[in-house]
A and B are shown apart, each in its own frame.
Chain A
């Protein structure tokens, strides 16, 4: 790990630690150290520095809403926007608790893409009709309700390595 003032770059050991944390963030420093053949104090020190530098933003638990009795439907919204209002709409979308992800994209038109959850279709429709459609600059909305998920993962360092090796 190289540190220069506020700037910090990751070395091979840091990346290995990050990959192991992504696989299981509940591992102890000793367990990680044993896998990488370094002292647990080294692991502790590296993780502290990566947290402080913002390479690790948070630790969270992935839960299954249905198993804990909160059945949710997930939907992918594509909001076609007036280009002058795209940014405002995207920011406004981030303020709604039902919205998990917001992004903008440009293909033929400027759109805001959002991942939304609701307890049922009626609640989803009510949210779209009362909170999203009235936003200034919304031209059209397409909402696709997810019926079956085949894969859901977050980006990991392991995936980026696999992607690089596939290109080669």
Chain B
């Protein structure tokens, strides 16, 4: 199920934000409280962090459960299944999230 675009685009409370780690218990100090902020972080965050969270399914869970965007979550799941890594992972995530952001901002209701 996909929530309305305003819900997906909203800023969440700090308890619900996405916190970037590089390994178990090792927090980078970077977090994202919205999809837009998430995109900015994806651009610069340590690649180790992206690979760590992809492997743990953290991206797709946060996008689906916290933001309510099952469609983007499914696309992120695809990236995980394809085992994309390194800079290709960063590029792929950036492409998918920025594309989705454009769609959400262009339409009143997410599809």
Are the C-beta atoms of B29 and A139 separated by less than 8 Å? yes
Q: Indicate whether A142 sits within 8 Å of B19 (C-beta atoms), given known contacts A133-B31, A134-B14.
A: no
Are the C-beta atoms of B31 and A145 separated by less than 8 Å? no
Nearest-neighbour CB distance to chain B for A78, whole angstroms, equals: 10
A132: which B residues are within 8 A, CB to CB? 27
B17-46 interface code vs A (CB 8 A; 1 in, 0 out): 101010011111101000000000000000
A123-143 interface code vs B (CB 8 A; 1 in, 0 out): 011001110111010111111
Q: Indicate whether A129 sits within 8 Å of B28 (C-beta atoms), given known contacts A134-B14, A134-B15.
A: no
Band of interface residues on A: 20 to 34
Nearest-neighbour CB distance to chain A for B98, whole angstroms, equals: 25
Nearest-neighbour CB distance to chain B for A108, whole angstroms, equals: 15
Nearest-neighbour CB distance to chain A for B22, whole angstroms, equals: 10
A156 in the interface, Cβ–Cβ < 8 Å? no
A75: which B residues are within 8 A, CB to CB? 25
A88: which B residues are within 8 A, CB to CB? none
Residues of B that sit less than 8 Å from A by CB: 14-15, 17, 19, 21, 24-29, 31
Residues of A that sit less than 8 Å from B by CB: 75, 77, 80, 121, 124-125, 128-130, 132-134, 136, 138-143, 145
